[in-house]
Structure 1
Amino acid sequence: MLSEMHSFRPLGLLLVGIVAFTGVINAQMIFGLEKLDLILRTPYGWMLGAKIVMVALMLGCAAYHANKVRQQLADNRDMPLHRRPVLSAIRLSLANEMLLALGVIGLAAVIGLSSPFN
């Protein structure tokens, strides 16, 4: 399990980097980054900020369960995987991550239908 997580890590980091980069380009194309301080004072900006915070929380959940798995695997090498106490913590973290992802998708849909210049 640990080796699978480590093999996904570079891909995950690459994908997060691509999403962040394209988000900055998208913001520049939609409203111009020089107007960011004005945009963040509007409902559009609040939703955009909330979306960014939710993505950061998702990354925090991912880092948490990666560290938790690494620690538990090191501590309980002889115990079968399905009996290790780490699974309940990871399930809770993944459930939180999924709820945050649904929130991000919902906010992205609303933001996509909104104008930053209201």
Structure 2
Amino acid sequence: MIVDDDENWIFVSKLLLKRVGLQNGIITAKNGLEAFTKLQDLASAGDKKLPDLILLDIRMPVMDGFGFLEKTTKTDPIDLSQTKVYICSSSLNPGDKEKAALYPIAGFLTKPLTKEVLQGILG
């Protein structure tokens, strides 16, 4: 899942995911609320698996990345324990990294994302 309000970033991220072999089932959302709603729909469907990977921007309209993390960590039946959540941001603010560390994320990636970075996090 790619959660970002920048259409260009979503396009590039999808290309990179395809280059590392993840071309099927890429879900996109333009803000945290849209992403949360999509996860809620998947979780309530029962048989649908939640994403293995979420690339999450911090700064977005409607609901930012931190709002998304806050809401998903406190909402049943959404269980992201098997999902790697990476914040992908161009922010250089140390406070953003400190705040991100309060949530169960796999890491904080600085934009732009590269094929090599993606291969590294996917193992």
Q: Which has the larger radius of gyration?
A: 1
Structure 1 or 2: larger strand share?
Answer: 2
For normalisation by structure 1, the TM-score amounts to 0.28
For normalisation by structure 2, the TM-score amounts to 0.28
Structure 1 or 2: larger helix share?
Answer: 1
